[in-house]
């Protein structure tokens, strides 16, 4: 039997509708500011998506476009200025930044209370505590968790395998899967240096893949009935596809996220959820 499709668009719509209703009730004017340095075709697409999602729920979206040749110090002071602006609810730093700029330094200059992407050390650090509900967390990792939740399956004790150990997906997802003292899954994190990747993926009841290699995970690398969450976004010719060979995987998995229309669709909704969280913390 074919796997059930996890419909990211449907999940995102539900979340955005809830946010819109809450914002109307709060009569809140939230402002999201995106900082972009230079021109980048990929980040142009993100900006367009962020803007339209903000408009959908009634959030004001402002793009601050800075010159490609801006110095690191000037960029830090621009970000700090935005951080001090009372009218701004959250700040996004559009990646990639030019190679001459240390992205980590810029990220760290965003104040914790405006860190809508959940990437500052303080916000990432809160993910370690089982008794603290973080206000914000990396949006893609949150999106992965929403996709898993949408299946209605209990993850308690499940063998979970994460392929990819980035700061915005693999590592935070691992912490999120471990976030409850009693209900956690049992995660293994694989990466480029992992020996026998298939040996791990084959025993995964829950598989999360965030690598950036089209078709890395084949059908014969999956456990029958597994929940498969494909985070990868790869351009092959004029098509976008994930890291999992969808046509093969759908015959083996129990649930699967498509690409596009899976994790990516939910990510922007989680950005808005983070923004609302920042706002509510400020007015509390």
Q: Which residues bind ligand NAD (CB under 6 A)?
A: 140, 163-166, 168-170, 190-192, 194, 197, 210-213, 216, 231-234, 263-264, 267
Q: Of the two residues 118 and 170, which places its CB atom closer to ligand NAD in the complex? A: 170
Nearest to 86 by CA among 160, 158, 29, 144: 29
Q: Of the two residues 57 and 163, which places its CB atom closer to ligand NAD in the complex? A: 163
Tokens describing residue 266: 């939910």
Q: Of the two residues 88 and 230, which places its CB atom closer to ligand NAD in the complex? A: 230
Minimum distance from residue 131 beta carbon to ligand NAD (Å): 27
Task: Please state, in angstroms and rounded to a whole number, the distance separating the CA atoms of residues 47 and 231.
Answer: 19
Q: Of the two residues 99 and 283, which places its CB atom closer to ligand NAD in the complex? A: 99
Task: Please state, in angstroms and rounded to a whole number, the distance separating the CA atoms of residues 42 and 171.
Answer: 24
Q: Of the two residues 88 and 265, which places its CB atom closer to ligand NAD in the complex? A: 265
Minimum distance from residue 266 beta carbon to ligand NAD (Å): 8
Mapping DSSP onto H, E and C, the string for 99-166 reads: CCCCHHHHHHCCCHHHECCCCCHHHHHHCCCCCCCCCCCCHHHHHHHHHHHCCCCCCCCCEEEEECCC
10 phi and psi, to 5 degrees?
Answer: -65, -45
Minimum distance from residue 255 beta carbon to ligand NAD (Å): 17
Minimum distance from residue 242 beta carbon to ligand NAD (Å): 8
> In sequence order, what are the beta bridge partners of 228?
207, 256
Tokens describing residue 206: 């829950």
Tokens describing residue 229: 């969450």
Length of the chain equals 284
Q: Of the two residues 19 and 141, which places its CB atom closer to ligand NAD in the complex? A: 141
Nearest to 207 by CA among 191, 188, 193: 188
- Contact indicator for 240, 260 with CB cutoff of 8 Å: yes
Q: Of the two residues 80 and 149, which places its CB atom closer to ligand NAD in the complex? A: 149
Minimum distance from residue 213 beta carbon to ligand NAD (Å): 6
Minimum distance from residue 42 beta carbon to ligand NAD (Å): 9
Minimum distance from residue 165 beta carbon to ligand NAD (Å): 4
Q: For tokens 């976004």, what's the residue? A: 233
């Amino acid at each position: 039997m074919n796997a059930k499709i996890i419909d990211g668009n449907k999940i995102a719509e539900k979340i955005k509708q809830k946010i819109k209703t809450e914002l109307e009730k709060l009569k809140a004017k939230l402002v999201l500011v995106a900082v972009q340095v230079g021109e980048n075709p990929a980040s142009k697409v993100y900006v367009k998506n962020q803007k339209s999602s903000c408009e959908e729920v009634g959030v004001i979206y402002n793009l601050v476009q800075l010159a490609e040749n801006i110095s690191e110090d000037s960029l830090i002071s621009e970000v700090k200025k935005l951080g001090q602006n009372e009218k701004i609810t959250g700040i996004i730093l559009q990646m990639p930044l030019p190679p001459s700029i240390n992205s980590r330094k810029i990220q760290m200059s965003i104040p914790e209370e405006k860190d809508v992407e959940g990437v500052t050390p303080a916000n990432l650090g809160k993910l370690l505590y089982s008794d603290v509900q973080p206000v914000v967390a990396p949006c893609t990792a949150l999106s992965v968790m929403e996709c898993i939740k949408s299946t209605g399956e209990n993850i308690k004790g499940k063998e979970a395998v994460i392929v990819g150990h980035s700061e915005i997906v693999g590592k935070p997802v691992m912490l999120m899967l471990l976030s409850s003292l009693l209900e956690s899954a049992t995660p293994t994190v694989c990466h480029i240096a992992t020996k026998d990747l298939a040996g791990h993926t084959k025993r995964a009841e829950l598989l999360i893949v965030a690598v950036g290699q089209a078709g890395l995970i084949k059908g014969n690398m999956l456990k029958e009935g597994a929940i498969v969450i494909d985070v990868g976004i790869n351009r092959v010719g004029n098509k976008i596809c994930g890291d999992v060979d969808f046509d093969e995987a759908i015959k083996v998995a129990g649930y699967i996220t498509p690409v596009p229309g899976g994790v990516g669709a939910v990510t922007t909704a989680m950005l808005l959820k983070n923004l609302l969280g920042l706002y509510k913390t400020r007015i509390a």
